[in-house]
Amino acid sequence: MSCGSKVVVKAGRYIYLVAQRYFDASRLIKINRPSLGEDVAPKHLEEIRANPLFAATNDESFATLVRGAYVQNFPPHTELITEGEPADFLHIVSTGCVELFSNWRDRETSMTFLGENATFILAATIKDRPYLMSARTLNKSRVIMVPSQDIRTVFERDSDFAKSIVFELASCYRASVKSTKNIKLRTSLERLANYILQLRRDQETNDQVVLELEKRKIASFLGMTPENLSRAFASLKNHGVEVDGQTVIIKDVVALTAFAKPALLIDG
């Protein structure tokens, strides 16, 4: 599962935004990088540099990217961005898990879940457009925030960084197409069966997997109601699956695979 910011925001502007979201501004760690003085946190620079998006940038471009960047630890269930707001920052998940979600009237849906090294929302950052999704932490998470204006500045002058951006956007696009095909071409039961098989591959297990997300989150991500998810789990007993709390026991992986029919162009 997987992917996914307007003028340069000065420190005062950023602190104001953070205060609006009930964060203590004193917890922010500024990466001040005109020079490598003692006040710079090298571990944070290394953390950003190691991200695939920034690995190919030259030193000058990297200095521009991190001159206004922040690294922030957020507690669980913290809203990081809200759909419709200006994309002031590109966010990168360093550790933890972030949910991208969207609301319409009184309905809410989970779009995707992001882990280590995932970015959000790059398309809004590059196009200087409002966020199309909101984001919140599911557990304690460390997030890197890079001003969008700096991203666009380096994108225009550094071809290697531009290639990394294009590759990331292409990956996100392909993931979006696969997700759409999964929702439109499969029944809810088939989606759940393939979700379990994907967890089995991710967790590298044979006979059981752990549901790391709340079942209501899984249901939303798969385009189901919690009640439909419960019925779907019950129906999968006929295909070698049993559920015990957050543990899914796969008693017959051959039968489950035969029913799910995983496809490279959807699940690969």
147 pLDDT more than 60: yes
Question: What does the pLDDT look like over 105-135, one tens digit per residue?
Answer: 999 999 999 999 899 999 999 999 999 999 9
Tell me the C-alpha distance between 217 and 82, whole Å. 18
The radius of gyration of the chain from alpha carbons, rounded to an integer in Å, stands at 20
Return residue ranges of the chain for CATH 1.10.10.10.
186-267
To the nearest whole percent, how much of the chain has pLDDT over 90? 76
Mean of pLDDT values over 167-178: 95
To the nearest whole percent, how much of the chain has pLDDT over 70? 85
Q: Are 138 and 18 in contact (CB under 8 A)?
A: no
185 pairs with which residues across the strands? Answer: none
pLDDT reported for residue 41: 65
pLDDT reported for residue 113: 96
- From 45-54, 220-229, 253-262, the region with the lowest mean pLDDT: 45-54
- Could you tell me the pTM of the whole model? 0.80
Task: Kindly report the CATH class assigned to 186-267.
Answer: mainly alpha
Mean of pLDDT values over 9-26: 37
Question: What does the pLDDT look like over 47-102, one tens digit per residue?
Answer: 888 888 999 999 999 999 998 898 899 999 999 999 999 999 999 999 999 999 99
Torsion of CA 77, 80, 84, 89, to 10 degrees: -170
Question: What does the pLDDT look like over 153-171, one tens digit per residue?
Answer: 999 999 999 999 999 999 9
Task: Kindly report the CATH class assigned to 11-181.
Answer: mainly beta
Mean of pLDDT values over 205-221: 94
Tell me the C-alpha distance between 62 and 248, whole Å. 44
Return residue ranges of the chain for CATH 2.60.120.10.
11-181
